Amino acid sequence: MGRASVRAAILTLAAVTSVAAAAFAQTAPSGAGAYSPSLHWHDGLRFDSAGGRLQLQTVSLVQLDTHTFGTPRPSGTDTVLLRRLRTTISGRFGSRVEFRFLPEFAQARRVYDAYLDVRLTRALHLRVGKDRTPFGYEMSLGAPYLAFPERSLVTGLAPNRDVGVLVMGEAGRVSYAAGLFNESPDGTNGPVSLHTGGHGDWAGRVVVRPFGARTRGLGGLKVQLAGTHGTPDAAPPVYRTAGRATYFRYASDVTHAGWRGRLTPAASWFQGRVGAYAEAVRSSTGLQQDGRTARTAGRAWEATGLWVVTGETASERDVTPRHPVGAGGWGALQVQARHAEISLGEATTLGPLMAPGSSRRARATSLGVLWLPTHLVRVDVAWDHTAFEPGPDAARPTEQAFTVRYHVTF
């Protein structure tokens, strides 16, 4: 499928979605008309129109990080960083049409989410616009719900958000999502544009909950399998550590060539006060330099475990303190550990393609403590130890990064 075909497919489905949205939005929820418009605060500003035909909500997020590196410093510098500054605008027309708009104002200013979702049935949603590509467990977790300040090395091989068309739904213990997207590079947030020099990416994910919610010990288990396939044309990305330091980049004359495929199995389990998740990623990518082509096989895996010390229920989203600060308590406390490894390809293949100072393999061990004074405020403290395989030009020192994140939603 060429560039014009990708655009045509996305635009056609966008038109269909818009027509369906207009039709469904005409029908207000049952019992509508029994209440007046209201504007109130519920973890963000919320507006409900008369009759319930329109709902709007805004939620803002501020994340401020401090990074401190041990010596020697391979490439990171001690810094205070405004990591995220976002305001999400979301809402609903009638009972079946939803939308979301999420701009980012910190660092690179861009739009992260901008989509329209029509809920035809529980088993079938139609979504058009910019959203997360259905690939990768940790990449699917929203920024407000990360256990550690930064995602693991594994997400360097996973796409982030991209423009496309998506069908998704849930039936019993199975949920799915599949669609056609522009071509988001590894670990990268794609632009809000239908332009693509490649042929687009097909992406899909299936999530299964093997046991019922009441199954003792296994009710919180989920397993999933996801993959992408396409022919990219964007510039190859850079790869960073949890301390936001770049440890690998391609030479400036390296470009994509041929197809790229990704595959990732993952599992997660949350039960009572504890939780864990693990995933692995394999990525095969065609590259070109000076007319010569090569194919790299990137591999990565990670495992994370957590325990809520204060007794609240562990969750892949947020922990809700039973005794928040201000109500006679000290909030919730969670401890976590993670290990991740990544290999971006074989030395014989990657050697000529690497920029000076790059390392093709990295291993990271992370320990962290998360304190939630209330469900809207978080203080996340993490220590990351990242070791690298020596590059072709020089050995890269082990990175010791200490990160403190101050997080507020309102």
- Segment 347-357 mean pLDDT: 87
Predicted structure pTM score: 0.87
pLDDT, residue 198, reads 55
The CATH number of domain 3-409 is 3.40.50.460: no
Query: What is the rounded CA–CA span in Å between residue 389 and residue 395?
Result: 7
Residue 57 and residue 100 in contact, taking contact as beta carbons nearer than 8 Å: no
Instruction: Quote the percentage of the chain above a pLDDT of 90.
Output: 58
Query: What is the rounded CA–CA span in Å between residue 33 and residue 56?
Result: 17
- Segment 64-74 mean pLDDT: 82
pLDDT, residue 28, reads 46
Integer CA distances (angstroms), 102 to 110, 266, 281, in order: 9, 27, 28
pLDDT, residue 404, reads 97
Residue 1 has pLDDT above 70, yes or no: no
Residue 99 and residue 90 in contact, taking contact as beta carbons nearer than 8 Å: yes
pLDDT, residue 59, reads 94
Residue 284 has pLDDT above 60, yes or no: yes
Taking only the tens place, the pLDDT of each residue in 87-143 is 999 999 888 899 999 999 997 788 999 999 999 999 999 999 999 999 999 999 999
Instruction: Quote the percentage of the chain above a pLDDT of 70.
Output: 88
| β 45-48/38-41 pair status | antiparallel
Name the more confident of 30 and 308. Answer: 308
